Structure 1
Amino acid sequence: MPFGFFSETFSDQGTMDDGTWQFCGLTRMQRLYAFGACFVIGFILSIVSSLLLIGMNVPGFAILYSIGNVVSIFSLTFIIGIFKQVKTMFAPVRFWATTIYLSLLVVTLVLSILIKNFVLSLVLVIIQFAALVWYSASYIPYGREVIRRFFGSCVTSI
């Protein structure tokens, strides 16, 4: 007997918004494919940007890295819808994580293009990645607690 997502009676409990993408005529399966495609494109852009960073092309790196992150975040709108995505991003539990992450995304882009400093760009990307991990962990039950405990145990073992 099928269960979960493959069941005829699957209830997505409000996670998959059927109304937002209906104007495009997308079915559930098409939205899942669109999510996967956007996520993979964002991932590929991030990898390619890393190759540009190795080649010391800081502005190219910043632009591709930022676009890759935006495309990856946008991919979730195919699953939960645009309005629910914005609403969940700025929910009280993740307001500061979202604000810091998006701010760092813009700061990384602007400073990498204007200043073109390799070390500064690398530091900003590392901090931006940490903010992305913290933001993403807010969607996982006890995700932030696991991160706190892991780094807490690392600090105490030193």
Structure 2
Amino acid sequence: MESIRTVFSSGPEDDSLLGSVDNYCNLSWENRLYAFGACFVIGIFLSVFGSIEVWLGKYTAFALLYSLGTLVALAGTCFLRGPVSQIKKMFDKDRLIASCVLIASIILTIVCGCVLKIGILAIMCCIVQFMAFTWYTLSYIPYARNAVKSCFSGCTGMECPC
């Protein structure tokens, strides 16, 4: 557990943040991991139940449940670093594009599913949302993005432009 903590713990640059992992609440590190895990599992369940709604033709429920699942899973990471620190890290230069695409795709999924009620657009936005969330998550694992890029460039025989 200590190795997980070192990945998410605040460094010297985060000491002044109100949201640093040691200052934002009185939960122990173990309880924070449990809270993160609970949010992540709830987020997955909401997304899966939302995906089931597609097969029933309920695109509004799909868009809301899937997007809510993504938001709950994302909110769970606040237990690991603290809310202010986590939001600041979301918009680091390494994660800026992934974070912006993720937020835009969540909004577009809800708009396409609930306002426009165009199921195929909601599904396409959901696919983008999933890919952006995955790419965003990989940014927290050292060298994970490079490994994925290498895998895809090896599969296609071309160099990855990203």
Give the TM-score category using the shorter length. 0.7 to 0.9
The counterpart of 1:15, out of the listed 9, 29, 41, is: 9
**Contact 1:97 1:131 (8 Å CA) reproduced:** yes
Summarize the Cα distance change of 1:14–1:135 in structure 2 as closer, same or farther, 3 Å threshold.
Answer: closer
Instruction: Give % identity.
Output: 34
Instruction: Name the SS for the 2:6 alignment partner.
Output: coil
TM-score by length of 1: 0.84
Shift of 1:147: 1.6
User: Which range is displaced more, 147-156 or 53-62?
Assistant: 147-156
- Runs of at least 5 residues in structure 1 that lack an aligned partner in the other structure: none
Residue 99 (str. 1) matches residue 96 (str. 2): no
Shift of 1:29: 2.4
Amino acid at match of 1:155: T
- Give the number of equivalent residue pairs: 148
- Runs of at least 5 residues in structure 2 that lack an aligned partner in the other structure: 11-20
Shift of 1:151: 1.6
**Contact 1:137 1:143 (8 Å CA) reproduced:** yes
Larger radius of gyration: 1
Cα RMSD (Å): 2.1
1:42-57 equivalence runs, <5 A: 42-57=43-58
TM-score by length of 2: 0.83
User: Equivalent residue for 1:108?
Assistant: 109
Instruction: Name the SS for the 1:12 alignment partner.
Output: helix
Q: Distance in 1 between matches of 2:129 and 2:40?
A: 18
User: Equivalent residue for 1:120?
Assistant: 121
**Contact 2:112 2:119 (8 Å CA) reproduced:** no
